Amino acid sequence: MDLFGDLPEPEQSKKATDDQDSGQDTNTRKSNVDVKEAVSEVCVGEKRKLPWDATSTSTEENGGSHKKLDVAKESKCRYRLKGYVADRQGEREDMQDAHVIIDDLKQSMPDVHSSIHRLCVYAVFDGHGGIRASRFASQHLLNNLRDKFPKGDVTQVEKEIKKVLRDAFKKTDEDFLKEATKNKPSWKDGTTAVMVVGINDTLYIANLGDSKAILCRYKESEGKHVAIPLTADHNPTVYEERMRIQKAGGFVKEGRVMGQLEVARSIGDGPYKNHGVTCVPDIRRCQLTENDRFLMIACDGLWKIYTAEESIQTALNVLEDKKTEGTERKSAEDVRYDLACSRLASSAVLRLSGDNVTVMLVSVNQLGEDS
C-alpha cells in the first residue's frame, strides 16, 4: 500500500520518516530531508498508525501511555478551523496571485458520508507569466477535487485521498493547457499551488512549486511556539528535480529550467512540460494536536523577506495583543487574525519583496474554547 508523509504527534518516542513515491512523482529528497529534519527538531514522534488500519494510536500528554481508539471515535472533530487572508500587489504591474478559503465544503457536497464531520479547503496560487493560470487553478482545482472526492466513510476517504488530489491536479493542468493552446499566441502562464484539505482533524497538504505551508505548534519542552514546515520547495536546483528535467531533455541554468522558469513543478507553463516540469504534487498529512495554534500558507513574495520562525512570531505578536477589540461584525479573534495577515503582507512589500504577496492564516481552536 502506498503510504505517504505523516507528520508525528508531539513529544513521542521515535523519529518520523516520509515514504518516497516512485516514477514521475519522485519526491525531492534534498528538500524533504530539510523538511524532515525541521520536523524532527520540533516533534520527535512515533509513526502514527494510519486511519485505514483497524485502530489508531494516541499518546496521552501527561503519562505517555498508549491506548487504542476506534476510527469512528477518532474521526470526531476536536478543533475548529477558520481561514483569513490578505494580499498585496506590491511592485508588480498586476496581481497574479489567487486563493481559496472554504471553511465548510460539506455545504456544497450533501452526499459526503456522515463520518466526515468537517471538510474544508485552503489554497494559495502564485501565478507567473500572467494571471490566467492562477485564476483558472483557483476555480477548477476545487471543482475537480469536489467531483473526484471519494465515496464512502472516512476510512475509505483516507485510503483514496492521495490519488484523488493527484488526479485533481492533473485534470486541472490538462484542462488549462487545452485552453492555453486554443489561443493564438498560446498562453504561457503558470502557477504554483499549495492546497490544504482538512478532513475531520487531519490535514492533507498538496504542493507544487515554491509557495509554502507551515504549522505554528507550541513546543512544551522549549516553552515556545515553533514553525513546522508542511511543504518542500520544488526548485530546479534540487537533485531529483534537476535529474527529472535532464532526463526529459531539458536543462537547468542559473537555477532556472531552460534558464527561464524558477520552479520545477507547476500548473500550466506549457512550453516547459516537455522539459520535465510536472504537475504531480507532493502530498503530506498532518494530524492536528492541542498544541497547534494556526496554519500559515503564503506565496514566495512573503518568504523572500520572512523566515518561517519570523513569520509566526510576527503573527503571534498580533494575535496575543488582547487590547484589540472586536466590532459589531467581527469577534476580537477575527480582527486579530485579519490584522496579522495584513501586517505580514504589508511588511513584506515595505521591505521590498518586489513581488505579489498573499498570506493566509487558518486558526486552530479546540472546540469549546472561547475565541
Confidence of residue 50 (pLDDT cuts 50, 70, 90): very low
Q: Answer yes or no: are the C-beta atoms of 196 and 203 closer than 8 Å.
A: yes
Confidence of residue 326 (pLDDT cuts 50, 70, 90): confident
**Which residues on neighbouring strands pair with residue 362, listed in sequence order?**
83, 295
Alpha-carbon gap, residue 56 to 68, rounded angstroms? 6
Which residue has better confidence, 184 or 24?
184
What domains can you pick out in the chain, each with its CATH number?
5-210+232-293 (3.60.40.10)
> pTM to 2 decimals?
0.81
What are 124's three cell numbers? 494559495
Q: Is the pLDDT of residue 287 over 60?
A: yes
What are 61's three cell numbers? 500528554
Name the helix (H) or strand (E) containing 75.
Answer: none
Alpha-carbon gap, residue 115 to 181, rounded angstroms? 42
